[in-house]
């Protein structure tokens, strides 16, 4: 017996990734994929990689129409659009996994400060922030999942064990992250052209990226106190992957081996978090195409800082893969069902 799923907004890279994963998921039937731009066009014509994997054509259907035929819907829409669509599915009793930012911030004022006016704010309180490694039980019973941002996922998983154990001077946290270009989506803009990106590397939106309040919300929750963080995103000349290099001053004396053990314990039993061997840190190429988050932790006794490096595939653990992981939890399936393919290397 399979779960009927639909994807609303399925023509971008995240939408494609959802189709890629769901088309190979043994317990799922993908019943609809929407796109205004490509309505009527077979998915495999837009994405030839999917030829033979799906016979779906994109439809331009209303949320009501889609809701009538599915159990779970994935919203792969820009922020501001999800908030218009999600309520229809919630009202229809469907499980909603929203990959936009619209239900991630629990504080309405914060959302409206960083994003825009919210038109379905009443749903914010019912949404569960979908990092299974932290909120597994809440997710199982959720009707609306706020699927985390890509940068936040890498940073939150990287810091959670240290924060829960009260090891850090939280006022010193700096997250220096770099993302592959697929994070910018498939819209044709000059800044995402091959010639603009290849051979380049730059910071962007320094001090202003919208993932900042999401990162702070979750880190504050883990630490049990409010604080601000510095978060600097960079654009990498790669298609997939986020690496976050996170700095903080240690407020306790802890030996490197102890710290490593603490991380290993924190994620023991997790199928999608891998702790690097002592002294090692991860490479995004080691998680490419997979739902893994790889984490390495290094102490720098010269400066009394800890340097935590975490790597994910922004389209998988940072978006579509985590969304399917959430769906598996909701549906009572094994958490790695349909997500077990090893990373593609090299």
Q: Does the active-site annotation cover 276?
A: no
CB of 234 to a second copy, least distance (A): 7
Smaller CB separation from a second copy, 89 or 217: 217
CB of 318 to a second copy, least distance (A): 14
Q: How far apart are the first and last CA of the chain?
A: 36
Instruction: Single out the residue of 26, 27, 29 nearest to residue 6, CA to CA.
Output: 29
Angle at 316 between CA 194 and CA 280, to 5 degrees: 90
Which DSSP symbol is given to 37? T
Which DSSP symbol is given to 96? E
Q: Are 53 and 23 in contact (CB under 8 A)?
A: yes
Give the DSSP H/E element, type plus range, for residue 307: strand 305-312
Q: Are 271 and 216 in contact (CB under 8 A)?
A: no
Residue 309 pairs in a beta bridge with 245, 296
CB of 292 to a second copy, least distance (A): 8
Structure tokens at 119: 């038109």
CB of 333 to a second copy, least distance (A): 17
- The residues annotated with a catalytic role in the active site are 150
């Amino acid at each position: 017996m399979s779960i009927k799923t639909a994807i609303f907004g399925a023509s971008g890279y995240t939408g494609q990734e959802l189709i890629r994963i769901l088309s190979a998921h043994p317990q799922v039937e993908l019943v609809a994929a929407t796109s205004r731009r490509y309505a009527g066009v077979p998915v495999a014509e837009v994405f030839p990689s999917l030829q033979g994997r799906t016979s779906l054509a994109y439809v331009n259907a209303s949320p009501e129409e889609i809701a009538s035929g599915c159990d779970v819907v994935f919203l792969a829409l820009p922020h501001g659009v999800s908030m218009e669509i999600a309520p229809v599915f919630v009202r229809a009793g469907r499980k909603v996994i929203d990959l936009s930012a619209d239900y991630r911030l629990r504080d309405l004022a914060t959302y409206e400060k960083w994003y825009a006016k919210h038109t379905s704010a009443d749903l914010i309180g019912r949404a569960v922030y979908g990092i299974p490694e932290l909120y597994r039980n809440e997710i199982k019973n959720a009707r609306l999942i706020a699927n985390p941002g890509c940068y936040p996922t890498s940073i939150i998983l990287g810091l959670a064990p240290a924060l829960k154990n009260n090891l850090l001077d939280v006022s010193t946290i700096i997250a220096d992250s770099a993302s592959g270009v697929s994070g910018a989506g498939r819209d044709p803009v000059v800044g995402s052209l091959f010639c603009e990106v290849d051979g380049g590397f730059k910071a962007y939106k320094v001090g202003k990226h919208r993932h900042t309040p999401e990162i702070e919300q979750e880190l504050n929750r883990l630490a049990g106190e409010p604080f601000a963080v510095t978060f600097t995103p960079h654009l990498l000349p790669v298609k997939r992957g986020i690496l976050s290099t996170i700095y903080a001053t240690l407020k306790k004396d802890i030996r490197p081996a102890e710290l490593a053990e603490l991380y290993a314990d924190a994620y023991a039993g997790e199928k999608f978090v891998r702790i690097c061997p002592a002294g090692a840190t991860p490479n995004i190429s080691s998680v490419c195409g997979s739902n893994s988050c790889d984490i390495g932790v290094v102490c720098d006794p010269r400066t009394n800082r800890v340097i935590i490096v975490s790597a994910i595939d922004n389209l998988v653990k940072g978006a579509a893969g985590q969304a399917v992981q959430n769906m598996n939890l909701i549906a009572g399936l094994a958490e790695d069902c349909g997500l077990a393919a090893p990373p593609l290397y090299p």
